[in-house]
Structure 1
């Protein structure tokens, strides 16, 4: 029997550079956290929005949420993954952040097909910056213990986890879709670009 894949939408907090909660930005006629959730529903058996407790209050009821457990609050995106592993320790997770408005269902489907089951984790890889994109990644249930070990050592970087464990590097056929939008200026450019694509 094939193992179920669960999807995690990583909300994050209020970005200092953006000046607002990126999960609430509307690129496609709805808050980005719901757009990503619905995109993941095409790929995953279940989907959850990982959020802090303040964000949970504003999440519409039809979307399942996983608020960060108290012990993991304020440690960044790792909190969402650790919370998910706490509830579903035997599942693999496809993680997508709300920072990537250009990413498509096709990109994610191709990525999931590329994942090797014997890997601990895999993520989109940005060859220009030579870094992983940890919030566009797949984390197997086998990664749980290592991520928990890092947490115990006050190491909260998923980028560090991926590097140290030689995670799979996925080179997208459409690297421009990997752009992370973190400022109001880039947000406006993304909105204008997306509107043009929709109108074509």
Structure 2
């Protein structure tokens, strides 16, 4: 029987380059954090929005959330993972950030099916930049102790974790959906592309 898989929507931090909270941007008729949540519901048994203390005030029912625990605040996306493992230490997590407006439910389903559960983790791999996408990734319960060890050494890079542990590399069929949108200019272009239903 398949193990339960929990989904995590990573809202992000200060969104400095964007100038506004990326999780609130409307690409698909609703804030991106809710759009991602609803995509994950098709793949996962439970879904949570990982958020900071400010964002949690604006998250409405029926969406479930996991606010960053105080000891993990201000360390980036690792905060969401460590908080989730604190509450659910025996679960695997499928993580999706709010930076990827082109990602589809189909992309996530195909990724979830591809996961090798012998690995400690697996992530979408960006061949163009030769990097993992840490916020499009699966983290097994086995990764908890290693991520905690990094945290104890004040090492907060999930990219580093994925590299050091030789995480699985997933090469998606629609690689252009991996575009991460981080600036107002790219945000406007993404909105226009999505309205025109450009398919990658």
Same fold, TM-score > 0.5, yes or no: yes
**1:113 — aligned with what?**
113
**1:159 — aligned with what?**
159
**1:79 — aligned with what?**
79
The superposition leaves residues 79-114 of structure 1 with CA deviations (integer Å, 9 ceiling, x where unpaired) of: 000000000000000000000000000001111111
Residue 77 of structure 1: CA displacement? 0.1
**1:22 — aligned with what?**
22
Residue 147 of structure 1: CA displacement? 0.2
**2:169 — aligned with what?**
169
Question: In structure 1, the residue corresponding to 2:144 is in which secondary structure?
Answer: helix
TM-score in terms of structure 1 length:
0.98
The superposition leaves residues 149-184 of structure 1 with CA deviations (integer Å, 9 ceiling, x where unpaired) of: 000000000000000000000001101000000000
Residue 52 of structure 1: CA displacement? 0.3
Question: Where do residues 33-182 of structure 1 align in structure 2 (5 Å cutoff)?
Answer: 33-182=33-182
**1:189 — aligned with what?**
189
> 2: CA distance between counterparts of 1:81 and 1:128?
26
Gap regions ≥5 residues in structure 1: none
Tell me the C-alpha RMSD between the 2 structures. 0.8
> 1: CA distance between counterparts of 2:13 and 2:119?
30
> 2: CA distance between counterparts of 1:89 and 1:104?
28
> 2: CA distance between counterparts of 1:73 and 1:175?
32
Gap regions ≥5 residues in structure 2: none
Question: In structure 2, the residue corresponding to 1:7 is in which secondary structure?
Answer: strand
**1:11 — aligned with what?**
11
Which consecutive segments of 4 or more residues in structure 1 shift more than 3 A?
none
